[in-house]
Chain A
Amino acid sequence: MSTLSYTSPTTVEAAVSALAGANGGAKVLSGGTDLLVQLRSGRSRPEMFVDVKRIPGLIGVREENGGFVIGAATPCVLIGEHRALQQAWPGVVEAARLIGSTQVQGRATLAGNLCNASPAADSVPAMIAARATCTVAGPSGRREAPVEAIATGPGRTSLARGELLIEFRLPKRPPRSADAYLRFIPRTEMDIAVVGAAVNLTLDPSGTCTEARVVLGAVAPTAVLVPDGAAALVGRRLDSDTLSRLDAAARRACVPITDKRGTIEFRTQVAGVLARRAATIACTRAGER
């Protein structure tokens, strides 16, 4: 029978202490939208929940040094309501806003989405494409890490015992930069992404791409950075030739599985399609900034 306990610390240090002291049986509870489902199904059998929502600073979005800091336990609905963030990082925001239903949006967090480490997590490709970093607090203090360093495989992270995410940082944007995230789902809502594609790019005044990051989701054990995709974009305008190369690069980067949500062939093909479409949207947005 369950001996599950619950604590709701009001400082980061107390949270670290609770996590470190529970012999691996403690889990961070932020939005709970993945954790509670896993608890119910028996997939997760924690001994303790450490609720981080009452720690000051863990919920909220603020501008800092031209960039943004997002508290790790900020529900996606708040992320969507931050105008300046949405302006600067439309791809990150639309990705966060795609996670689940309106009800899930009221609770789900970027930290939860990242640390649950589903290969199909919607917010992760866009955050990686954005070069987002996160602050990790643990028994040895705090450290910064790029978002792509966190998930190491389905359901697994690089976080040590006692560590938790405090906040995310998005860098300052050069002019004529924009990002976009698209996902493929069979319905219009309520599905886990079958494929996700994020493109973050910067254009020069003539419309030529000067830098780019292309990241795919749900086509590998973790979100996958596609350097060849970026290479296909950089130094070029977004014409059909560029898009073809991007499509091909995206397909080559896929190592998907066949499961109840999609086949290898389907995911590979659609990855190319979404990469093209996301790049087109990002390019249009960048041109408007």
Chain B
Amino acid sequence: MSKNHVSTTINGEPVEFLCETQQTLLDALRDELQLTGSKEGCSSGDCGACSVIVDGRLVCSCLMLAVEAEGRTIETIEGLARGDVLHPVQQKFLQAAALQCGFCTPGLLVAAKALLDRHPDPTETEARYWLAGNLCRCTGYDKVIRAVLEAGAEMRGE
């Protein structure tokens, strides 16, 4: 069986890889590109641990075929920080202790970044509904939401 050749942009860099048709974008990120920051929690789009941003939209990478990434722009958790400068959401998650086991954290951070990029001043309720697709079993979401709201405030320069 021949593989598909995919050219895409990941975290600002041009990337090429080979994949089988049934491989999801998550499979390709983790197994072909060794970008293991995005996690597999359920493979059915119900947990959000695999969240990435494609052409500016938050998606579950387990719900996209790798071949659909052709020509697209993809942002993963690995691209959130710039060198050793953390993104405000990453910084706030650390300060607010918004993670425990850390498994859902990459997905949550990507989702939070997508939220603040599009809605810079969300209410607590808006943040909760936006992040409803990111399951966390450790934190009860309290510190996560606080961290996201604080990151938003910082990004707005408050």
Contact = CB atoms under 8 A, between A and B. Distances in A.
Contact of A32 (B21, B68, B130): B68
Contacts, number: 92
Contacts of A6: 4, 21, 65, 67
- Most B Cβ at <10 Å: residue of A5, A8, A102: A102
Interface in B111-158: 111, 114-115, 129-134
B104 interface: no
Contacts of B133: 100-104, 189-190
B45 A75 contact: no
Interface string B43-77: 11110100100100111101111011010000000
A104 B132 contact: no
Interface string A78-108: 0000000000000000000000111110110
Contacts of A41: 44
A241 B89 CA distance: 52
Interface residues of B, number: 33
Contacts of B67: 6, 8, 51
Contacts of A143: none
A188 interface: yes
B22 interface: yes
B60 A103 contact: yes
A188 B129 contact: yes
Nearest to B131: A102
B21 A51 contact: no
B132 A102 contact: yes
A1 B133 CA distance: 32
Interface of A: 1-6, 8, 29, 31-33, 36-37, 39-41, 49, 51, 53, 75, 77, 100-104, 106-107, 188-190
Interface of B: 1, 4, 20-22, 24, 43-46, 48, 51, 54, 57-60, 62-65, 67-68, 70, 111, 114-115, 129-134
17 contacts: A3-B1, A4-B22, A6-B21, A31-B63, A32-B65, A36-B65, A49-B65, A53-B68, A101-B45, A101-B132, A102-B114, A103-B45, A103-B48, A103-B59, A107-B57, A107-B63, A189-B133
